[in-house]
Chains A and B, each alone.
Chain A
Amino acid sequence: MPKRVETIVLHDSSTPVLGDVQKGGNVVVTSLETLLGQARANSLWPLTFGLACCAIEMMSTVASRFDIARFGSEAFRATPRQADVMIIAGRLSKKMAPVLRQIYDQMPEPKWVISMGACASSGGVYNNYAIVQGADQVVPVDVYVPGCPPSPDALIYAVLKLQEKVKRHTARNLSDLRLTEVHAPRRLEEVEA
């Protein structure tokens, strides 16, 4: 049967040429969400959000020994407008929390958050008045990384976990593909609340 189709294609000049079928090649059919998921997962650009000692391990993850560029995440951006994933590295103080939220809001959709280390994920040893007990009180966190600080391998494992999550994402409708901004910018009252 495939041979028959190929013969027809070869002999009928009115048949539209589809890919490399005439040369005997193959056609791959996939869904748009799979394609987008693959593209997004393999180019997760992190935002530099180093808050404390975990940032040192984050820097060493980018350096040549661990080289996060192998997973397409080497482009650390200092501006939220060009970043996909925010790596919260370090303890998040209550004074920093509004800043973190604002920067998260400024990131374009789709966006993800990795909470790196015990302090960012839950407060760690700093169970006191100054530290937010978990960054998920401020922003939605996708992957938590335990450790104090997590070694570069542990952070790479978290990035791989996030890639799996991004690839697995299934869109139920058009807005779920997140081609445009899903959430409208927050109003002033919401920011102040």
Chain B
Amino acid sequence: MGLYKQVVKPVLAGFGITAKRLKHRKVTLGYPEELREQYPRTRWRHFLTRYDNGLEKCIGCSLCAGACPARCIYVEAAENTDEARFSPGERYAPRYEINMIRCIFCGYCQEACPTGAIVLRKNFELADYKREDFIYTKEMLLEKYPGEADAPFVGHYQKTATRKS
């Protein structure tokens, strides 16, 4: 009687819990091959956006740099001329640099921007080997065509997977 009560019954109860857990949904995500659905307001990599006609939205006002709590944004402004026109207004930013390693992705720059030029999107695969590679210059931040920033994010390992197949 003691054997049943002290050994068999607890063992059966334990296996019962295991059996109950078997029918549960699996929770592990297959990250490098597939991405989890991110929240709509997820804030990761910055983009400098363009208007539909291809002109840059950034006017070089440095409000983003002022709002940044980590002081990781550097903006240099210059005048637009009729020969070399980059943005619709008077001024544009010839240099725009973000220190990605110091940035805390708070999104204050996005909030401060009067033209909606700087946006934070869902590309979280930013890890790298060298410190110098984290200074994102304007060439890296500026989207190649209008609307590139809004394109759905495809991870590095999904890209390699599709290339192979």
Chain A residues within CB distance 8 Å of chain B: 64-67, 70, 118, 121-125, 127, 134, 136, 142-148, 150-151, 153-154, 156-158, 160-161, 165
Contacts and interface: CB of A to CB of B under 8 A. Distances in A.
Given A157-B125, A165-B129, A146 B101 contact: yes
Contacts of B106: 148
Nearest to A123: B102
B156 interface: yes
A64 B31 contact: no
B127 A158 contact: yes
13 contacts: A64-B27, A65-B29, A124-B104, A134-B131, A136-B131, A144-B134, A146-B101, A146-B105, A151-B124, A154-B125, A157-B124, A157-B155, A161-B129
B64 to A, nearest CB: 15
Contacts of B35: 153
Nearest to A120: B101
Contacts of A145: 126-127
Give the residue among A125, A146, A160 with the most B Cβ atoms within 10 A: A146
Contacts of B134: 121, 144, 146
A129 B103 CA distance: 19
Contact of B31 (A118, A143, A144, A156): A156
B70 A118 contact: yes
Contact of B127 (A118, A123, A125, A161): A161
Given A125-B69, A147-B126, A153 B104 contact: no
B129 A157 contact: no
Given A65-B28, A153-B36, A143 B128 contact: yes
Interface of B: 27-29, 31-32, 35-36, 44, 69-71, 99-106, 124-129, 131, 134, 155-157
Which of A144, A156, A160 counts the most chain B CB atoms within 10 A?
A: A144
A143 B126 CA distance: 10
A147 B105 contact: yes
A124 B27 CA distance: 33
Given A134-B131, A156-B31, A150 B70 contact: no
A67 B36 CA distance: 14
A134 B130 CA distance: 12
Contacts of A158: 127
Contacts of A151: 124
Contact of B32 (A64, A150, A160, A165): A160
A157 B127 contact: yes
Contacts of A127: 70-71
Contacts of A67: 28-29
A141 to B, nearest CB: 8
A148 B28 contact: no
B153 to A, nearest CB: 11
